Structure 1
Amino acid sequence: MKRKEKRLLQAVALGLTALVFLPNVGLWALYRERQLEGGPEGAEAAAAARAGVAQGQQRRPRKDIYFGDGQRRKDWHDKEAIRKDAERVGNGEQGKPFPLTDAERVDQAYRENGFNIFVSDKIALNRSLPDIRHPNCNSKLYLEKLPNTSIIIPFHNEGWSSLLRTVHSVLSRSPPELVAEIVLVDDFSDREHLKKRLEDYMAQFPSVRILRTKKREGLIRTRMLGASVAIGDVITFLDSHCEANVNWLPPLLDRIASNRKTIVCPMIDVIDNDHFGYKTQAGDAMRGAFDWEMYYKRIPIPPELQKPDPSDPFESPVMAGGLFAVDRKWFWELGGYDPGLEIWGGEQYEISFKVWMCGGRMEDIPCSRVGHIYRKYIPYKIPTGVSLARIRNVGTQLCIGTKHGAPGSPLRLEGCVKGRAEAAWSNVQVFTFSWREDIRPGDPQHTKKFCFDTISHSSPVTLYDCHGMKGNQLWKYGNDKTLYHPVSGSCMDCTESDHRVFMNTCSPSSPTQQWIFQYTNSTVLEKFNRNSDL
């Protein structure tokens, strides 16, 4: 009994000693540190001690560069390049709009390229851009070992400065070890500056090479040609009038390295086609989608699907089409593009559907941003595949115009605009025959979503929302140059006095019922009329 009492007293004594002694150890350590910092020598000693601890911490690997998969990550930002860019001043620097004069706003500035080439030529080829990413992107780490990429840039009659600025932005804002090559694929351009002059200029960049098609192929086959010679682990497609932004490439390659069946797209910012100001798209991070007429659109992400961190990648049903990266082998496993696709528009659906059906995924990457010039109009001829026309009346020698047209408004005749490029630019007197056998204002790549419409044998011809169901929007073009409307059984006519366009009893000999389609693709027009009784 006495032995147990003795052990109990010893335990109590030990506990009291700890309570008294341990706090004093802490106080003594605090006192000693303050004493060291009290004098000059003491301050230096304390600083050295802290520096030694900091250096020791630096020598040890940071825990946050390893994740659950055990792979090492790193910060890919080029801090020195970012600092130098931030100091740049001048026309267009930091992505600011160029101050335009009246002389620089003339129509001719847009004719050859669909954007103001005069302004483009006055901006540095390696101009600085604003970092408009979410702030969280600055601290994101990506795999230390990333696949390299072949960057494919197809072009046709591209402007000199806009093409070179695309290449310079990629070279200056991409880690060199990640760029296997830049492949410029010339789709049969006929402008002199894109021949020997371009080859001489690009000779200074060992990673850049130029391929040329032997005839006009169109966007898709030109991309396929570039992809077929690519040597990189990943293929990255860009348009020929883009500007890559800060640290744009590692976030794309990181997602593919994690899952080779992922196609990734950067956020596409807007470079103004007039003053070249750089800004984000309205709504910014939104998912790609399409309506039943296959028009691409961007829609908000539902709240329940939004990521807690807005800078994280998110899935998208379809891509915008022009700018994306894909594992090279996976691209060919998907079959690449359908080589029968002729013009811009629609190829993004084909590749998107393949991805989802073959067990892949598609993601938009907010921390990767690339600016893109959206042209005012398409300046070059479309190779084949679509009937593009201006509709001129034989009797009056005037053209159908939609300059002031809106859904529900009747069509009227106007003086014919000279030159196809100008008409295409303004979408005033250019019309497209769609595969639905309706007629839509605009060139094939920018048709508006309303159609020629009429409801009876004597009603006016109006513009109305396209429904794609034929009926009152179904038109046939006859060998007698009449525009026949099967539902009403009448033909399109016009008045010579007030230039109204309306339906009337067919009279093929009447000049006001005869319409000339200028700049048509005769092969497509023939297919369009294949089942016509006229």
Structure 2
Amino acid sequence: MCGGTLEIAPCSHVGHVFRKTTPYSFPGGTGRVVNHNNARLAEVWLDDWKHFYYNINPGALNVPVGDVSERKALRERLKCKSFRWYLENIYPESQMPLDYYYLGEIRNAETSNCLDTLGGKAGQPLGMGYCHGMGGNQVFAYTKRKQIMSDDNCLDAAHPRGPIKLIRCHGMRGNQEWTYDTKTRTIKHTNTGMCLDKPESSDVWKPLLRACDRSRGQQWLMQVDFKWQARRHRAS
């Protein structure tokens, strides 16, 4: 971002000794120091993507950042590029969405439970759970490409009745295209025309695809903090 280079040295060898515990002590604990440092990094370098980081790691919001004006002035003085430029030109394979309409939890209006990856990897079913407000597995991005993403996986459905799985995002729409209607609060699967519905009582952890009927079980709340990046002009 500031004119340096990232180089890969395939023949290099790096050794690291992992301690079971840190030999140092810090006021408030090690986690507080790590969150403090990460929050300062986010505030100075990530631009609008700091919101993405904070939603995934809400602990970083609960620590004082301190004065970062000097670091921002350094970035300005060095004429550093934007973080968008970094994602587009240096790390285009990153799955972090460049343009997204919404970032945060997706809560069902009837059950008050949230969509949750349950720590699942690619190929595993989407789940639901109690809305804990701690980010992590319950953070989803609704992107300009109409994907619903968690990390590098997207909600994917190959059949009208489901199941809904977490599949590696391919950016080709198809089974991974969803439309959120802000008025009816429904999430519609484009390929099948079916709507995302609350789980059945027999399997309370797996949301379903059902014919759209605008019932409360098919209403999903995306109200944490809208970031309408997709309406902005691209950074130069």
State whether TM-score is above 0.5.
yes
SS in 2 for 1:350: helix
Question: Does 2:153 align with 1:450?
Answer: yes
What code does the residue aligned with 2:67 have?
Answer: L
Q: How far apart in 2 are the matches of 1:413 and 1:155? A: 29
1:517 Cα deviation from its structure 2 partner = 1.4
What code does the residue aligned with 1:489 have?
Answer: G
8 Å CA contact 2:100–2:141 kept in 1: the answer is no
8 Å CA contact 1:110–1:116 kept in 2: the answer is no
1:501 aligns with 207
**2:67 corresponds to which of 194, 200, 203:** 194
Uncovered stretches (5+) of structure 2, i.e. residues with no partner: 1-15, 46-62, 93-98, 232-236
What code does the residue aligned with 1:484 have?
Answer: K
8 Å CA contact 1:433–1:440 kept in 2: the answer is yes
SS in 2 for 1:110: helix
1:110 aligns with 31
**2:118 corresponds to which of 383, 403, 413:** 403
The verdict on how the C-alpha distance between 1:211 and 1:459 changes in structure 2, with shifts beyond 3 A counting, is closer
Q: How far apart in 2 are the matches of 1:96 and 1:462? A: 38
1:467 aligns with 170
**1:227 corresponds to which of 69, 78, 91:** 78
Question: Does 2:95 align with 1:415?
Answer: no
2:89 aligns with 350
| Counterpart mapping for 1:296-375 below 5 A | 337=81, 341=82, 344=83, 346-347=85-86, 349-350=88-89
Task: Give the aligned length.
Answer: 186
1:482 aligns with 186
Q: How far apart in 2 are the matches of 1:428 and 1:523? A: 22
8 Å CA contact 1:492–1:501 kept in 2: the answer is yes
Question: Does 2:50 align with 1:210?
Answer: no
SS in 1 for 2:137: coil
1:411 Cα deviation from its structure 2 partner = 1.4
Higher RCO (CA < 8 A, seq sep 6+) = 2
SS in 1 for 2:149: strand
8 Å CA contact 1:157–1:194 kept in 2: the answer is no
**1:439 corresponds to which of 112, 125, 148:** 148
Uncovered stretches (5+) of structure 1, i.e. residues with no partner: 1-94, 118-152, 159-189, 196-208, 214-221, 229-335, 354-383, 442-447, 528-534
**1:100 corresponds to which of 9, 21, 43:** 21
Q: How far apart in 1 are the matches of 2:200 and 2:147? A: 25
- Between Structure 1 and Structure 2, whose CA radius of gyration is higher? 1
| Counterpart mapping for 1:505-516 below 5 A | 505-508=211-214, 510-516=215-221
The verdict on how the C-alpha distance between 1:409 and 1:349 changes in structure 2, with shifts beyond 3 A counting, is closer
The verdict on how the C-alpha distance between 1:352 and 1:405 changes in structure 2, with shifts beyond 3 A counting, is closer
SS in 2 for 1:428: helix
Q: How far apart in 2 are the matches of 1:157 and 1:429? A: 26
1:350 Cα deviation from its structure 2 partner = 3.2
Q: How far apart in 2 are the matches of 1:99 and 1:505? A: 53
Q: How far apart in 1 are the matches of 2:71 and 2:119? A: 44
8 Å CA contact 2:178–2:188 kept in 1: the answer is yes
1:64 aligns with none
1:97 Cα deviation from its structure 2 partner = 4.7
Q: Which has the higher helix share?
A: 1
SS in 1 for 2:106: strand
8 Å CA contact 1:385–1:521 kept in 2: the answer is no
Percent identical among aligned pairs is 26
The verdict on how the C-alpha distance between 1:210 and 1:459 changes in structure 2, with shifts beyond 3 A counting, is closer
Cα deviations by residue, 1:187-238 (Å, 9 ceiling, x for unpaired): xxx947437xxxxxxxxxxxxx93656xxxxxxxx73x1215xxxxxxxxxx
The verdict on how the C-alpha distance between 1:519 and 1:504 changes in structure 2, with shifts beyond 3 A counting, is same
The verdict on how the C-alpha distance between 1:391 and 1:109 changes in structure 2, with shifts beyond 3 A counting, is farther
SS in 1 for 2:112: coil
The verdict on how the C-alpha distance between 1:413 and 1:115 changes in structure 2, with shifts beyond 3 A counting, is same
Question: Does 2:137 align with 1:428?
Answer: yes
Q: How far apart in 1 are the matches of 2:100 and 2:155? A: 21
Q: How far apart in 2 are the matches of 1:116 and 1:98? A: 21
Q: How far apart in 1 are the matches of 2:166 and 2:195? A: 16
User: RMSD of aligned C-alpha atoms?
Assistant: 4.0
Q: How far apart in 1 are the matches of 2:88 and 2:29? A: 35
SS in 1 for 2:228: helix
SS in 2 for 1:194: coil
